Amino acid sequence: MSNAQELDSAFIKQRAAYFADSLDKAYQNKLWDQYVSLTQPGLIKFLGGKAGVIDYAERLWMVLNQDIGEKVSTQHVLQIVSKGNDWQCVIEKVKEVYYDQRKAWVTTYVVGKSEDEGNSWKFVEISEGMLINAREVMRDISDELIIPKRTVVYEDELKKKQEAEAAAAAAAAKKQQQSKKRVAKK
């Protein structure tokens, strides 16, 4: 990859992240017209037009924000691919939520497409409640894109796992130290 291509790719990745952040802010602030303007046309059509997208987003927002207190903690461009002047990406979003008073992190994914050399982007969220296949609403999605499955990690389970890993590492270190002492005695 040439230096110019690397710069273009870095710029395009930055633009994808900017537009994905705008999509998330529009959703969180219930700016539905802006949210629809950042949504893939195939999804708009699938949901019956602009009013269908807004209805779906409002219902989803009410459920997620009242029941689990959803907020995006981090998001970043996981993958970006080009096809001529078109670009596609996968953006990973990690959301901090509370399910039944248990803190958790939910990792979801957004697929984006730019048809103007990466200057502007439109997205399809592959997350809560989306039972449709991304390829049904974005027919030309690249086969190169890898869209991981949604995951949920609970804080208490994460702490137990970290404690178990720390204990295993300590036991391994102790065993290695004892082995070195035996070798030194010989």
Question: Taking every pair of C-alpha atoms in the chain, what is the biggest distance, in angstroms?
Answer: 80
Q: What is the pLDDT of residues 86-137, one digit of tens each?
A: 999 999 989 888 877 888 888 888 899 999 989 999 998 775 445 356 667 7
Residue type, 92: E
Joined tokens for residue 177: 């130290």
pLDDT band for 164, please (50, 70, 90 cuts): confident
- Number of residues written out for the chain: 186
Minimal CA–CA distance to 118: which of 88, 77, 76? 88
Give the C-alpha separation, 176 to 186, whole Å: 16
CA dihedral over 33, 39, 41, 43, signed as positive or negative: negative
